[in-house]
């Protein structure tokens, strides 16, 4: 680039030399050409020839001409104008300014590109690192699942081995008894046969001494059907159901805390169902009770680890669910948001879902979940909501709670014409096969 600029400058330099008058040593002014093809400024050659009578000479090549004669060369005139214009101070200053500006522009764009490249590379690093972290996390989760299955398989096989052993032992026991009886019997037969043979020579006066007859037990029953049926069961389904017990976090079997229930909330005897009611229930007064909003908490609070629970909302058209800090104000009307200690999902008018941010974040859900799963990760400070029917993610708070929280529920006040519908805590009953 510097070499090209130099070449351009030097070609411009030699052009400027070519267009310089040999008399005034400046760029041609009003250039004219003599018959010898040499050029001079019209004023210069006129001044040079002034006062000369008769023939004149070219100042450059000394050629003689009979008279003062020259002609205007328009092409040279135009070139001189061009060189003069492009070598003028203002032109050069302007050019220099433009150069600087263009260079500065390029420099800024280069900085932009360099920054953009750095950002892209950082982003790629972040994606790679996050991907690796998540991969490790997913592997860990599956390792735990594999372990559960492995343990379960070992357990079932061990049980089968034990039962088989017991059955074999029973038969073996009987077999040994029968074999003993058989040997005794054969021994007696031998004695009897011997005695019978002896009667031919000797007079036998009494029966020979016989061993007491061993009484063989009744053969043990082997009930093939009973033996098999436990292992011919839908084992994958049973195991899958059993896994709930070992899942971490598995569905927590929550119960409602009656002491927190607003007086217009009816809590079922087993504390797994709540429904709003018109009558005011004469609960014992309690500091923990919600007095303004139709809310209730679960009896189980969490402040570490990961927890998951499911709630059946059915076709209820209005509800709030989530978690609430232990410290929330229960005696005044509070807008539910993380700032006030609530991380909630809500529905209004049957299908208007929102996350309880301030203001509410409207969610576009493809369908209305009948069951909602809430996942609380205390360490990651994450509260996520799932459609428990297909485990699709509905919303996730990443600025979750610090400190102790309780599962939170509000059956709300239904619109007048509707029959109040309950909110139920889902419990998965245990299943049996082994262990």
Nearer to Zn ion, 56 or 254 (CB): 56
Size of the site for Zn ion (CB under 5 A): 11
Minimum CB separation of residue 116 from Zn ion in Å reads 57
Q: By CB under 5 A, is residue 80 in contact with Zn ion?
A: no
Of positions 19, 31, 32, 44, contacts Zn ion by CB under 5 A: 44
Q: Is 265 in the site for Zn ion (CB under 5 A)?
A: no
Q: Minimal distance in Å, beta carbon 48 to Zn ion?
A: 9
What is the closest distance, in whole angstroms, from the C-beta atom of residue 80 to Zn ion in the complex?
A: 11
24 binds Zn ion (CB under 5 A): yes
Q: Which is nearer to Zn ion, 15 or 181 (CB)?
A: 15
- CB nearer Zn ion, residue 73 or residue 434: 73
Within 8 A by CB and 6+ apart from 394, the residues are: 345, 353, 363, 365, 369, 372, 384, 385, 386, 387
> Would you count residue 27 as binding Zn ion (CB under 5 A)?
no
Burial (CB count within 10 angstroms: exposed 0-12, middle 13-18, buried 19+), residue 416: exposed
Cis bond before residue 249 (omega within 30° of 0): yes
| Pair of tokens at residue 208 | 């020979």
- Distance, C-alpha 132 to centroid of its chain: 12
Binding status of residue 23 toward Zn ion by CB under 5 A? yes
The answer to whether 79 contacts Zn ion (rule: CB under 5 A) is no
Assess 33 for contact with Zn ion (CB under 5 A): no
Among 7, 8, 35, 61, binds Zn ion (CB under 5 A): 61
Question: What is the secondary structure of 229-286 as a DSSP string?
Answer: HTTSS-HHHHHHHHHHHH-TT-B----B-GGGS-TTEEE-TTSSEEEE-SSPP-PPP-
In the complex, minimum distance from the CB of residue 53 to Zn ion, in angstroms, rounded to a whole number: 20
Closest CA to 293 of 251, 332, 245: 332
Using the contact rule CB under 5 A, the part of the chain among 20-28, 318-326, 357-365, 368-376 near Zn ion is 20-28
| Coil, helix or strand at residue 368 | coil
Residues 92 and 120: their CA atoms lie apart, in Å, by: 41
In the list 19, 21, 56, 376, the residue contacting Zn ion (rule: CB under 5 A) is 21
- Is 145 a binding residue for Zn ion by CB under 5 A? The answer is no
User: CB-wise, 20 or 255, nearer to Zn ion?
Assistant: 20
Of the candidate residues 41, 296, 412, 425, the single one contacting Zn ion (CB under 5 A): 41
Burial label, 211 (beta-carbon count in 10 A; 0-12, 13-18, 19+): exposed
Using the rule CB under 5 A, is 306 a contact of Zn ion? Answer: no
For Zn ion, the binding residue among 38, 68, 241, 381 (CB under 5 A) is 38
| Nearest alpha-carbon partner for 80 in 38, 32, 113 | 32
Is 36 among the residues that bind Zn ion (CB under 5 A)?
Answer: yes
Cβ 69 to Zn ion shortest distance, Å: 13
Distances (CA, A) of 264 to 6, 323, 425: 92, 20, 19
The residues binding Zn ion (CB under 5 A) are 21, 23-24, 36, 38, 41, 44, 58, 60-61, 63
């Amino acid at each position: 680039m510097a070499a090209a600029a130099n070449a351009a400058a030097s070609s411009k330099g030699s052009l400027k030399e070519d267009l310089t008058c040999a008399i005034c040593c400046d760029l041609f002014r009003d250039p004219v050409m003599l018959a010898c093809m040499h050029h001079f400024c019209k004023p210069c050659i006129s001044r040079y020839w002034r006062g000369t009578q008769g023939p004149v000479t070219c100042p450059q090549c000394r050629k003689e001409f009979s008279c003062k004669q020259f002609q205007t060369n328009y092409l040279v005139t135009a070139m001189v104008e061009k060189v003069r214009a492009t070598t003028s101070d203002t032109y050069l200053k302007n050019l220099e300014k433009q150069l600087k500006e263009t260079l500065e522009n390029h420099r800024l764009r280069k900085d932009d590109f360099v920054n953009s490249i750095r950002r892209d590379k950082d982003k790629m690093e972040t994606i790679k690192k996050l991907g690796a972290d998540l991969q490790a996390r997913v592997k860990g989760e599956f390792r735990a699942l594999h372990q559960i299955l492995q343990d379960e398989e070992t357990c079932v096989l061990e049980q089968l081995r034990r039962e088989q052993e017991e059955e074999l032992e029973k038969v073996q026991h009987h077999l040994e008894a029968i074999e003993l009886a058989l040997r005794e019997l054969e021994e007696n037969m031998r004695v009897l046969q011997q005695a019978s043979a002896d009667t031919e020579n000797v007079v036998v006066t009494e029966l020979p001494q016989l061993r007491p007859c061993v009484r063989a037990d009744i053969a043990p029953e082997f009930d093939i059907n009973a033996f098999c049926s436990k292992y011919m069961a839908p084992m994958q389904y049973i195991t899958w159901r059993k896994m709930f017990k070992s899942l971490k976090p598995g569905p927590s079997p929550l119960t409602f805390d009656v002491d927190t229930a607003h007086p217009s909330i009816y809590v079922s005897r087993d504390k797994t169902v709540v429904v709003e009611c018109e009558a005011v229930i004469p609960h014992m007064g309690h500091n923990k009770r919600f007095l303004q909003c139709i809310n209730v908490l679960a009896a189980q609070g969490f402040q570490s680890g990961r927890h998951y629970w499911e709630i059946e909302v059915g076709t209820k058209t209005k509800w709030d669910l989530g978690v609430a800090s232990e410290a929330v104000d229960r005696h005044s009307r509070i807008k539910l948001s993380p700032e006030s200690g609530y991380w909630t999902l809500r529905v209004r008018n049957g299908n208007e879902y929102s996350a309880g941010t301030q203001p509410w974040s409207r969610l576009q859900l493809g369908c209305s979940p009948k069951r909602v799963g809430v996942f609380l990760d205390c360490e990651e400070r994450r509260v996520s909501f799932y459609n428990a029917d297909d485990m699709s993610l509905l919303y996730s708070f990443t600025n979750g709670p610090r400190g102790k929280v309780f599962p939170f529920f509000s059956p709300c006040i239904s619109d007048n014409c509707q029959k109040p519908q309950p909110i139920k805590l889902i419990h998965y009953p245990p299943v049996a096969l082994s262990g």
